[in-house]
Structure 1
Amino acid sequence: MLSALPRPRRFDVLIALAGLLGGLLLWGLGLGSRAADEPVVVWPGRWPILVPLAVMAGCELLRRTAPRQALLVATVAVFVDLLTQGNLVTVVMFTDVIYASVLYGPPAAARRVPRVTGIMSVAGMVVPYAMWRVPEALLIGVAVGVVAFAPAATGLIVRNHRDAAEAARLAAERTALLAEMDRVQAVTAERARMARELHDMVANHLSAIAIHSTAALSLDEPATTRQALGVIRENSVAGLAEMRRLIGILRDGSGDGEPAATPTLDGLDALVASARSNGLDVSLDVSLDGDAPAGVPAPVELAAYRIVQESLTNALKHAGPGRVFVVLRAGEGALSLTVTSPCGGHDGPRAPGSGAGLVGMRERATLLRGTLRAGAEDSPDGKVWAVRATLPTVEGDPA
């Protein structure tokens, strides 16, 4: 049974050793708590004093690792000490065992011990006074309160402060963890936003450069080569300007919103004109109700512009011969756009694709609580690739 008890702490060993040596010092000097002829002394003499003293020192070894067992044994030891001439150090160590039982014991014991010792203190005053009717009888309850209730109450106060400090520490750790999670999410969202911007701004120009440079290398026609080089130069200059704008955003560190030169729906005509100069046959049909585009929020305008831009880039890389249709409709709290292009039969040179464009378009629509679908569809003119997006222009989900 004793081998099953946990190993005592070093500080507890020092307390037990100090208590034992102090008690032995008082015992060696012949200083007892009571005279040998007092009525309560059942075992007079000096040697019986050492038994409760040694037991109480052993309880001090278990004050932190086994506080309940230490309190039970210490209570028996202090009663035995009352039947001898007594040792003051035994009583002092008993107060420490009570204090430790409240501070280190289970929560139920921490609440129960102060209540029990408080009741004992009150009973120690009331019962003797009722029996003897002398004021000195009240001192019994005072002694019980000093020896038992006071250390128990002190232990409860210290434990409450310790628990409050631990709760505050855990709350601070949770706050720090949530702050770190928010920071990581913010950094991730900002990286995703900059990745979308970089892809949408540059991919269109680089795709045109790749296609026309391939055509210039594969065709031995000076006129075609000169025309392709003109398109390449135009897209190189435009792409470089877009890159400089993005670098300016990163250097300014202004991640709160889009830059002042954010593309809007008014720039769709120029975007379509650029696509036509790259060789696409594009038709633009825009129908905006009311004061739109003034009534369309800037983030929705940017998302619509980028979705059309990426759709035209994909059409330039993958669409077959035929016309590409771009249709925008605004009204009833939402902006809807559709871009359709012929499927298959692409005879010219192709530019490689990574699929990041579709991912970016879906992310833009999702961030605005909108929807986006992209895939092959049947139409009267044959198989087409259609990109359909619905972006809400008012607060709340679109109808």
Structure 2
Amino acid sequence: MNSRTPPVRSVLDDEVEPVSRRPHRHDLLIAAVGLLGGLLLWLLGLRMQNGRLFEASWTGLVPLVPMAVAESMRRTRPGAALATATVLLAADQLTPGNIATVLMYTDVVYAAVVYGSEAAARRIPVISLLGSVALTLGLLPRLRPADAVLVGVLAGLVTFVPAVTGAGARGHRVAAEAARLRAEQTALLAEADRSQAVAEERSRMARELHDVVAGHLSAIALHSTAALSIDDPATSREALAVIRENSVAGLAEMRRLIGLLRRGGAPELPGAAPRLSALDALIEQSRGHAASSGLSCVLDDARDGGALPAPVELAAYRIVQESLTNALKHAAPGTVRVRLARPGALLTVEVTSVFGVRPGPRTPPGSGAGLIGMRERAELLGGTIRAGEERAADGSAVWRVRAELPVPEGTERGR
């Protein structure tokens, strides 16, 4: 059983050692039926045996009444009920006897195995069998062998058979409880898997939405800030043109994403998964957005030109896209360099920009969701990503984003 599955015994303990010690209503009913049946047999004058120590018929009622009391405790105090009932059964052998007393005793033995502790459930069948054999052997010197064997068989029917029956019933109860717990555990695991899948899908949607829209919104914020801070009609017209271009492009991306969500994100839809072949257009777009901020964008693709798996290309594209967006918002004037390489089974993506304070209008500070999204994309592929301030070869401060994405052998497109 799974280590997270609750132990079976913890559930059965509610029956072995219940909180309430009051007799169960079913046990009270069984005890009342046994007592009334014994009284009826006594009134009819039916007895089990003759020649006992106490010959008066009423003496058979002496073990009957407390046996009914023990029967009422069969579920709440099975151990005490069995010990009391055993003494009463022995006392019944000194009287004319009552079959109701014997029948209630067999039920107490059965209940002691079913509702008692695990140790008692293992021991009672063995003790009852050994007791029946010992009784038979002890009577052999006093009775004829056939009579001794008959007494031993009767003792086994009264003790061993109910104990074995109770053991079987307890085994079925344990198996049923274990099956129920496994079913509950399976349902819990299924719900956990469903919740995890929903959370992962939400994270994927959040990354995609941020990556495709953040760049356009950043450009809109930057140029609108410039238009508001610089009182120049030509600058305002240029900024409005860029704002319109990015708002239209952002709206188109939003419509595409909504369409993907409504259609279940079908991968065959056009433009659903950007490829690295589209980086030239992305770099060109970034150049237009960043020109007014003194930034220039350069692409250095040092790969061998081979096609990569779609998830790897999508992750690399989005990492470059988010890095360019961050450079547009925060980088100091200078060159933003994008470099791709593929040493062996790794695709490396590196984006560097000048680190420093940029003069002029700036966009509001980000929330850090972009860096989180890049890290998640890399980790989903088993890769790594680092982002932070470093020193370039000439000693200048740069902000470098470097991602290493594994490329599984034989998974390139077209193979």
TM-score with structure 2 length normalisation?
0.88
- Structure 2 counterpart of 1:158: 169
Question: Does residue 10 in structure 1 map to residue 25 in structure 2?
Answer: yes
Aligned AA (1:386): R
Report the identity percentage: 59
Aligned equivalents of 2:58 and 2:144: distance in 1?
36
Of the three residues 338, 341, 346, the one matched with 2:350 is: 338
**More deviation, 222-231/77-86:** 222-231
- Structure 2 counterpart of 1:113: 124
**C-alpha displacement at 1:142, in angstroms?**
2.4
**C-alpha displacement at 1:213, in angstroms?**
1.5
- Structure 1 counterpart of 2:326: 314
- Structure 2 counterpart of 1:265: 276
Aligned equivalents of 1:325 and 1:134: distance in 2?
106
Aligned length: 385
List structure 1 segments (4+ residues) > 4 angstroms apart after TM superposition: 122-134, 257-260
Question: Does residue 95 in structure 1 map to residue 72 in structure 2?
Answer: no
Give the conservation status (yes or no) of the 8 Å contact 2:23–2:72. yes
Question: Does residue 373 in structure 1 map to residue 392 in structure 2?
Answer: no
**C-alpha displacement at 1:218, in angstroms?**
2.4
- Structure 1 counterpart of 2:398: 384
Give the conservation status (yes or no) of the 8 Å contact 2:229–2:361. no
Aligned equivalents of 2:77 and 2:269: distance in 1?
66
In structure 2, the CA distance between the partners of 1:25 and 1:47, relative to structure 1 (3 Å rule), is same
Aligned AA (1:328): L
Of the three residues 178, 194, 198, the one matched with 1:167 is: 178
Give the conservation status (yes or no) of the 8 Å contact 1:282–1:325. yes
- Structure 1 counterpart of 2:8: none
Aligned AA (2:385): L
Q: Secondary structure at the match of 1:281?
A: strand
- Structure 1 counterpart of 2:94: 83
Q: Secondary structure at the match of 1:278?
A: helix
Q: Secondary structure at the match of 1:288?
A: coil
In structure 2, the CA distance between the partners of 1:259 and 1:176, relative to structure 1 (3 Å rule), is farther
Aligned equivalents of 2:191 and 2:22: distance in 1?
40
Of the three residues 26, 40, 55, the one matched with 1:44 is: 55
Question: Does residue 30 in structure 1 map to residue 41 in structure 2?
Answer: no
Question: Does residue 55 in structure 1 map to residue 66 in structure 2?
Answer: yes
Aligned equivalents of 2:242 and 2:227: distance in 1?
11
Q: Secondary structure at the match of 1:182?
A: helix
In structure 2, the CA distance between the partners of 1:258 and 1:328, relative to structure 1 (3 Å rule), is farther
Where do residues 188-203 of structure 1 align in structure 2 (5 Å cutoff)?
188-203=199-214
- Structure 2 counterpart of 1:183: 194
**C-alpha displacement at 1:197, in angstroms?**
0.1
In structure 2, the CA distance between the partners of 1:366 and 1:166, relative to structure 1 (3 Å rule), is same
Aligned AA (2:109): I
Aligned AA (1:85): P
Aligned-residue CA RMSD in angstroms?
Answer: 2.1
Aligned equivalents of 2:200 and 2:318: distance in 1?
18
Question: Does residue 351 in structure 1 map to residue 366 in structure 2?
Answer: no
Gaps of 5+ in 1: none
Q: Secondary structure at the match of 2:127?
A: helix
**C-alpha displacement at 1:354, in angstroms?**
1.3
Aligned AA (1:30): G
Aligned AA (1:377): E
Give the conservation status (yes or no) of the 8 Å contact 2:385–2:403. yes
Aligned equivalents of 2:39 and 2:144: distance in 1?
38
In structure 2, the CA distance between the partners of 1:204 and 1:5, relative to structure 1 (3 Å rule), is closer
**C-alpha displacement at 1:126, in angstroms?**
5.9
Aligned equivalents of 2:140 and 2:255: distance in 1?
95
Aligned equivalents of 1:115 and 1:260: distance in 2?
76
Where do residues 147-296 of structure 1 align in structure 2 (5 Å cutoff)?
147-254=158-265, 260-261=270-271, 262-279=273-290, 280-289=295-304, 291-292=305-306, 294=307, 296=308
**More deviation, 352-361/201-210:** 352-361
**C-alpha displacement at 1:65, in angstroms?**
1.2
In structure 2, the CA distance between the partners of 1:51 and 1:125, relative to structure 1 (3 Å rule), is same
Aligned equivalents of 2:355 and 2:40: distance in 1?
103
**C-alpha displacement at 1:214, in angstroms?**
1.7
**C-alpha displacement at 1:220, in angstroms?**
2.5
Q: Secondary structure at the match of 2:48?
A: coil
**C-alpha displacement at 1:355, in angstroms?**
1.1
Q: Secondary structure at the match of 1:247?
A: helix
Aligned equivalents of 1:242 and 1:95: distance in 2?
79
TM-score with structure 1 length normalisation?
0.91
Gaps of 5+ in 2: 1-18, 410-415
Give the conservation status (yes or no) of the 8 Å contact 1:7–1:65. yes
Aligned equivalents of 2:139 and 2:42: distance in 1?
31
**C-alpha displacement at 1:207, in angstroms?**
0.5
Aligned equivalents of 1:73 and 1:134: distance in 2?
31
**C-alpha displacement at 1:135, in angstroms?**
3.7
**C-alpha displacement at 1:129, in angstroms?**
5.9
Give the conservation status (yes or no) of the 8 Å contact 1:124–1:142. no
Aligned AA (2:318): R
**C-alpha displacement at 1:254, in angstroms?**
3.8
**C-alpha displacement at 1:316, in angstroms?**
0.6
In structure 2, the CA distance between the partners of 1:185 and 1:163, relative to structure 1 (3 Å rule), is same
